[in-house]
């Protein structure tokens, strides 16, 4: 077997250290999701393992999707907490220049 065909696998402790370093019970969180079938991995005996692809899928599944100002304007009422003046500025695109240059 050559080095390119070897599959790198990780224990839950390794995945938790890589992906969830600030979470106190990262291994347990991962194990629960694996048992529910929410994330992919495989079990050898009593131990869960994840491939590099499984780890990438985990990250992608829980990735935050950025929202552009145009999407906020289009959604209208979803933009809460704005004064009428701020809402008008947002709709006209003035907020984009103010936000990009900072205050």
Helices and strands per DSSP (H, E), number in the chain: 6, 3
Query: pTM of whole model > 0.85?
Result: no
The pLDDT value recorded for residue 6 is 84
| pLDDT tens digit at each of 103 positions of the chain | 555 678 899 999 999 999 988 889 999 999 999 999 999 999 999 999 999 999 999 999 888 876 666 665 565 555 567 788 877 887 777 655 555 544 4
CA dist 59 and 33 (Å) reads 13
Contact at 8 Å (CB) between 29 and 23? Answer: yes
Give CA–CA dist 56/41, Å, rounded: 11
**pLDDT attached to residue 63:** 84
Domain encompassing residue 78: 69-101
Q: Is the dihedral of CA 40, 44, 46, 49 positive or negative?
A: negative
Looking at the fold, whether 52 and 74 belong to one and the same domain comes out as: no
Note whether 49 and 83 are same-domain residues.
Answer: no
Q: What is the DSSP letter of 81?
A: S
């Amino acid at each position: 077997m050559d080095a390119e065909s070897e599959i790198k696998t990780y224990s839950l402790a390794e995945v938790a250290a890589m992906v969830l370093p600030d979470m106190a019970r990262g291994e347990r969180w991962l194990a629960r999701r694996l048992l529910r079938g929410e994330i992919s991995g495989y079990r050898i005996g009593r131990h869960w393992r994840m491939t590099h692809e499984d780890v990438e899928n985990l990250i992608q599944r829980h990735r935050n999707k950025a929202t552009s100002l145009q999407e906020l304007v289009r959604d209208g009422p979803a933009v809460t907490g704005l004064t009428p003046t701020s809402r008008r500025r947002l709709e006209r695109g003035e907020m984009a220049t103010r936000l990009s240059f900072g205050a």
